Amino acid sequence: MTRHLSESLISWASILEDDTRDQAIRTSAMPFIYPHMALMPDAHLGKGATVGSVIPTRGAIIPAAVGVDIGCGMDAVLTQWTKDDVLATGSPLSGLREGIEARVPLSAGVYNHALTETASARVDALGERAAALEIPDPGSFAGNWALQLGSLGSGNHFIEVSLDEQDRVWLFLHSGSRGVGNKIATHHIKVARDLMSRYFIRLEDPDLAYLVEGTDEFWAYIRALRWAQEFARQNRAEMMDRAVDAIAAFMGEDVERREAISCHHNYTEQENHFGKKVWLSRKGAIDAHEGVMGLIPGSMGTRSYVVEGKGNRVALCSAPHGAGREYSRSRARRTFTFAQLEEAMEGIEYRRTEAFLDEIPAAYKDIDVVMADAADLVSVRHELRQIVNVKGD
């Protein structure tokens, strides 16, 4: 069920905190929003703009409305195996988890020491992409960007082995553009704020600072944004290759990729909505045009979904990107215990550490409520439940 929170803000969120609503209303009041903002069921407070919002703009763009993890998103692969095939190996799932952990650098600030053959090819392609976008040196963003390719990061990023409703085995992962995307975003957010100051433009929230289409600053951001979005997609593809290699070694045979899905949920593209071409920023939202396949993860320990878009025009053909936080990380650590985390993760192979306490499922919105709120936005094609969880701390 939708609710009009203002003339330019329509919400699909049945769980919505007051500060989140107020932040979304502030963003939707910017004069270049067209035709309206759409607030997704998983909406929660963010930097500058609400996480879980779809922001269409004409003539300007708000760098903080895309966020600092440019191109963050999900990848999933359906394999040929079933739960019975995995059990038939007789090997503990800890071996599979450790195999993934050995191949993919985990945690903030951790990256590769050398390039693999597949990573080298992707780095070369990203170099060519930078040249095509007239970006002379991607190293100007982050000197070690090439070694970041194929690394997971921390927070709510993960690699999972899951089972669907038919007990078929899926690989499922969530990550973005790592430190290089963060540096790009941070730089352009500052550029936008400096421009507001230079032209005496006062905003209710400084992180709503914007870049005007047609200016050098606008196009410099768009070029860097497009490169970072491609880096994020290639980063996930490289990690998926490594996860595929790990499960192939565990199962003793090569993987058949029977279905593969990839989608961003922190990004900007030009799209047509209500008769106009707009810059559509999905900050914590996925493309849900009719027939487009997408991925909506729950939280650590809960279900995830493979979905198909319904093309809801009022929602700007978008859908939620996950469960959405209900507790901040610091509040979650004060509220929950490690014993509660272990209870929530019962039956799932994961690295047992208190570092993951702020990722406990209870810190997130109920994924069942989020999916019920999204019923007009997507159709569920598969429901996934984890058997292995890999995270960085």
CB 114 within 8 A of CB 215: no
Instruction: Using CA atoms of 272, 277, 281, 282 in order, give the dihedral in degrees to the nearest 10.
Output: -10
Integer Cα distance of 237 and 344 in angstroms: 29
* β-strand partners of 160: 172, 389
In 3D space, the residue among 340, 327, 336 whose CA is nearest the CA of residue 366 turns out to be 327
- Token duo for residue 10: 């329509």
What's the helix, strand, coil split of the chain in %, to 5? 35, 25, 35
Core vs surface per residue 66-80: b (16+ CB within 10 A) or e: bbbbbbbbbbbbbbe
In 3D space, the residue among 374, 392, 387 whose CA is nearest the CA of residue 83 turns out to be 387
Phi then psi for 194, rounded to 5 degrees?
-65, -40
Amino acid at 234: Q
Any idea which residues carry the catalytic annotation?
321
Amino acid at 33: I
Neighbours of 191 (CB within 10 A): 16
CB 247 within 8 A of CB 255: yes
